[in-house]
Amino acid sequence: MRVRSAIRSLARMPSFPLAVVLTIALGVGATTAMFSVVCAVLLRPLPYPNADRIVVVWERWQVDRDMKGVDPVVAARLAERSVVMTDALSAWRTGNHVFQQIGGFNPRQFSLTGTAEPERVEGIVASSDFFRVLDTHPSLGRAFSVEEDQPGRDEVVILGHGLWMRRFGGDRTILGRTIGVDGLPHTVIGVMPADFHLVLPNAPADPQLITPVPHSYQPGRKWALLMTVARLKPGVDVAAAQSDMSAVVRRMAATNRRYATRGANVVPLAEEMAQNSRLALLVLFGATGGVLLIGCVNVANLLLVRVAARQKEFAIRTALGAGRWQIIRDVLGESLALAAVGGACGLLLAYWGTDALLALVPEHLFPRLEEVKVDRTVLGFGLVVSLLVGLAAGLAPALHALGRDRHATLNRALNAAQRTSTLSRRQRATRRILVATQVAIAMVMLVGAALLTQTYVRLTRVDLGVSPQHVLTFGVILPPARYGTDVGRMAFEDKLLSKLEVLPGVEGVGLTNSLPVQSSFTGSMNVTVEGRAPVDGEFVDVRTVNPGFFRAAGARLAYGRFLNAGDARSEVTVVNRALIRRYWPSVATTGPEPLGRRLQLGDRWCTIIGVVDDIKYSGPDRRSEPEAYAPLAFWPTGYLAGLVRVAGDPMAIAGLARQGRCVPSIRTCPCRT
């Protein structure tokens, strides 16, 4: 009877339940959708057996000795979390007493050839212990053996399940077949299961190709830089592992002085994956919680007004014998019923809104986004939140249904002269408190939104040092089998330039080892200024470029000149203003005194021929670091990034650029700021 009565009562004022349900639905939907991300990134266990025993082991550096002049943000990161060389990993593996297994990996992009259309795919290089650390194995075939960690034995590959299904149609006879990886024949020895996903620092969530570590070795170099993961022995905690690894590094320092300033940093994998996203996620979750709280207070105000309108009804029911608790229960039940309906609508909004949220969030911003879903945990959270909203919003109106003095309320309500229903003094005070609370929360959120907007506006106004409009960018991986020498790579660069420069509408083509704004790659080298004592641990970032790079990027010359075609094999360099500020602060703005001065970059002496304005390589929120721009021949690598400046729409020539490619792994995309 009470349910039908409540429905009839609400039906007489349809705008009231509609407003309440809509308010609750929006608040619950936004909060639940955000909780689905928090749950996946921060709360859900890692997808590995006994994942609490998996740790990441970093090399620790000393900022004051190993990274002088490096961006403080980068230095702070490297001080605690640096990758290790394969020789250090071997020493860690044999010298520790706390790990069951310790393995290394590194993300990598591969050129897949030999079957169908060549393509560029994401994957990793991994040591033989890597799969044992994660306690995961191929669903078809086998993992790497210890022998395949050695150069010359590494021509094997494991396929990701997605690539196996898409490229090879799920053919179970794929084992033993030879495919081309970076221009070299590799034998397929395994296929990973469909549910295999990597939750590791900087690793692709769904690697399509996995090769042994020697695949990362550069020509003439028998080591690689790796990230390290390990599995603790049963009963060993992180503190014990940290102590043991510190002792290992001290023993390494006795035979190699490079490790005298180094250390080890053992971090639980779950903590490592959450550290860069925890604060941002909690802030966003708090913001949606604030929206929900504002909605809750607003609903409480609406219910309080409704209670005032029903005072005569309550008075008559009291006169007929209804108890105070019955009145309170009816008001609270109505609030909970509305909250249940609003919560159900909110859960539908969360289900639909989660996909929209994931579409808006950049993939690199938070880890494990592929695991975000509205599951039973998220639905349970949304249900609990809905009931709490109904309880919190209806509690104050329920307690004020008849006021403190039931008889006084009854007399006022039944008085014939009392033709209108008004709020009592106590109800008005409660409503003022609710309104003040709502305004206060809204003001806090408004100020926060204004600060974020101001930050965004400032970032959009930062001088990037380049002009990204009308620029197409691309990346090319050079297969070592075809381009294993400096001469071969330089010949490829010349051929690529000749093909791209004749495309219609092209105004300039630049080649480099890292793209402005889009890349955080730093090819750092020790630097020494002629006439000054060498400073140990002082670095500059060396960008190798062709003469057309500066025009294609829209870089601005401060004084001197850019590189030209005659500088291809000369030991000259163009530097940025940040480098001038470091070494010649008195002429940083006037110039041109540093022109003609010499710098030692690594083991080469280069003459400064020009100075350019600072370019933001690591993003608009980071300061510009000292940089030197050297000819491509200075440091040939197996990867090239390119910029093509065109007169119109950059994507209009993307198809022509692909058709005119010299290798199958070229991939084009519009320049992003």
Q: Examine the pLDDT at 464 and tell me if it is beyond 50.
A: yes
The model's pLDDT over 483-534, given as tens digits with 9 standing for 90+, comes to: 777 788 888 888 888 888 888 888 889 998 888 876 655 567 778 888 777 6
pLDDT band at 6 (very low <50, low <70, confident <90, very high): low
Local structure of residue 386 (DSSP, 8 states): H
Please name the residues in contact with 5: beta carbons below 8 A apart, sequence gap of 6 or more: none
- Rounded Cα distance between 463 and 516, Å, is 12
Q: What is the DSSP string of 353-374?
A: HHHHHHHHS-TTTSTTGGG---
pLDDT band at 666 (very low <50, low <70, confident <90, very high): very low
Q: Which two tokens stand for residue 359?
A: 């579409």
- Rounded Cα distance between 567 and 606, Å, is 11
The single residue listed with the structure tokens 């905690």 is 237
Q: What is the DSSP string of 7-59?
A: HHHHHTSTHHHHHHHHHHHHHHHHHHHHHHHHIIIIISPPSSTTGGGEEEEEE
Q: What is the DSSP string of 102-113?
A: EEEEEEEEEEEE
On whether the pTM is more than 0.85, the answer is no
Please name the residues in contact with 574: beta carbons below 8 A apart, sequence gap of 6 or more: 550, 560, 562, 563, 608, 609, 610, 611, 612, 628, 629
Give the rounded percent of residues in the chain with a pLDDT score beyond 70. 78
Averaging pLDDT over each range in 335-339, 526-530, 578-582, which range is the top one? 578-582
pLDDT score at 663: 41
Q: Examine the pLDDT at 80 and tell me if it is beyond 90.
A: no
- Mean pLDDT, all residues of the chain: 80
Bond prior to 592 in cis (omega within 30° of 0): yes
